[in-house]
Structure 1
């Protein structure tokens, strides 16, 4: 996890723990899905699947563009990259309403996925896919959101004024975002329901299963036979204990016990075992309590 300038950059496996520690006071009901279009894999100068552009430079470039548009800060709360890393906008923290979908930002978290996922554009990497699925599952878990098209929303399902459409509609939708080939399926409601949302649900289910305490065989309730054996064992212990503890002090040990108590070697001599009285008597006869 690295903080530099206006951003915090982390690996995928650091996000859930980081998120659990955040105090978010505004209500969260929606998770937006965007692609950046630009920057993209080409502007990131990918060579053998590795971006040559510095990630913080990319982030600050987006921020500067947003500021030039008159925005108060970076538009999105969170950004994902082709290598699976996640960036948090420190100037647009989770407690701050994003600038993602005009007219539909209240109660939202805006997540931008770096890349151009329109047809003919970038093919999303496996690492970025894994991160995106994990990220939305963690957010859904943290804010107790159902995994459906009412709570995880594509930008392409809205008009320029933030009116929700029934689906991506060319000519009416504000943008193609998150891309007409996003996830390899497209930006429609049917595309989201086909693979994207089910994969998030699967990841969420796995996260929840990890939270449950695994019950070992030793923690299983006892059977009737085991209870009977246990009660028999308790009775045996009770009988052995009673045999070890004598009801009264033996006559041959009485003088020794009185001497030991008078010498303040013991507080009481009642209820002792045979071996106890034998030891006290031997010590007394050796002159220890005189």
Structure 2
């Protein structure tokens, strides 16, 4: 959990604990779903999270808004950012005419057909975020209360679905969650995913790992990987061809050796025996 400038950045596993400590003083009955379109995965490559967020904020200020438009942002690596200049108790600037009583979530990426393929980390973080918000705010998980920007006109009138030519935008993308931006697509993919995550949380299933736990697991995995590489290396050494420094000893003992392969220790011992048997002294330098 890091605070810098106008934003608080959390790991997905930290979000629910943080959310439970927040006092919500305004009525929130709808959760908006947006994709940023720009920035997207390409523009985000090797970019610092806070630099990205401040860039979004600068653009929104240039629009004449009082601060960052969205309350929450979800990154492609699963990290979640809270806009401190547009915290949960402030009305967002997400859908013109339909922001009162709503909370705006921007998902980094372009999820139109031909755009970005959402990462598993972001997908899980998005589902977890909406599930936590639905529980905290007592919001039903359905398409009346979790709404896509594409279901509104540019004037903020409710269409109830994506209608090409009438919808203000394709947001959150014509391939959002691999299904699309229609109400039917949401009912088949996004909404059931949130419902399953709500149930998981309510059942008291294990929460996602904390940052410290993830680091321990990563360190353990790195140790296991290193050990596996060492074992493979040792296996290779155990079947190595006679090295050049052991050639003389090998030729001497060749009649008594089955083949020309052995471990490093085997070749080393063979050379030692050869030197002892032939009275060869090794000069120390």
TM-score by length of 2: 0.71
1:137 aligns with 2:131: yes
Q: Which residue of 1 aligns with 2:42?
A: 42
Mapped partners of 1:166, 1:92: distance in 2: 27
Match in the other structure for 2:270: none
CA distance in 2, matches of 1:177, 1:199: 19
Q: Secondary structure of 2:41's partner?
A: coil
Show CA shifts across 1:172-209 (max 9, x none): 10000000010010000000000110010011011111
**1:221 corresponds to:** none
Residue 114 of structure 1 corresponds to 108
Match of 2:52 in 1: 58
Query: Residues 206-231 of structure 1, C-alpha deviation per residue, up to 9 Å, x if partnerless?
Result: 111118xxxxxxxxxxxxxxxxxxxx
Partner of 1:182: 176
Partners of 1:59 and 1:8 in 2: how far apart? 10
Structure 1 residues 86-143: Cα deviation after superposition (integer angstroms, max 9, x where no partner): 0000000000000000010000000000000011110010000000000000000001
| Partner Cα distance (2:63, 2:156) in 1 | 19
Q: Deviations over 1:14-61 (max 9, x none)?
A: 00010011111100100000000000001012xxxxxx1001000000
Deviation at 1:161, TM superposition (A): 1.1
- Which residue in 2 is equivalent to 1:219? none
Query: Which of 81, 104, 110 is the matching residue for 2:75?
Result: 81
Residues 1:26 and 2:41 aligned together? no
CA distance in 1, matches of 2:79, 2:146: 21
C-alpha RMSD over aligned residues: 0.8
Unpaired runs of 5+ residues, structure 2, are: 206-285
- Give 1:1-290 correspondences, 5 Å limit: 1-45=1-45, 52-210=46-204
Distance in 1, Cα, partners of 2:106 & 2:196: 22
Work out which of the two has the higher radius of gyration on C-alpha atoms and give 1 or 2: 1
Distance 2:161 2:56 in 1: 28
- Could you tell me which residue of structure 2 aligns to residue 230 of structure 1? none
Deviation at 1:166, TM superposition (A): 2.6
Q: Matched residues in 2 for 1:205 and 1:124: separation?
A: 23
Which blocks of at least 5 consecutive residues in structure 1 are unaligned?
46-51, 212-290
Shift of 1:167: 1.0
CA distance in 2, matches of 1:152, 1:109: 10
SS for the counterpart of 2:43 is: coil
Give the whole-Å Cα distance in 1 for the aligned partners of 2:143 and 2:166: 19
Greater share of residues in helix: 2
2:26 and 2:198 map into 1 onto residues whose CA distance is: 23
1:62 Cα deviation from its structure 2 partner: 0.1
Q: Output one character per residue of 1:230-265: Cα deviation in whole Å (capped at 9) or x when no partner.
A: xxxxxxxxxxxxxxxxxxxxxxxxxxxxxxxxxxxx
Figure out how many residues of one structure are paired with residues of the other and give that number: 205
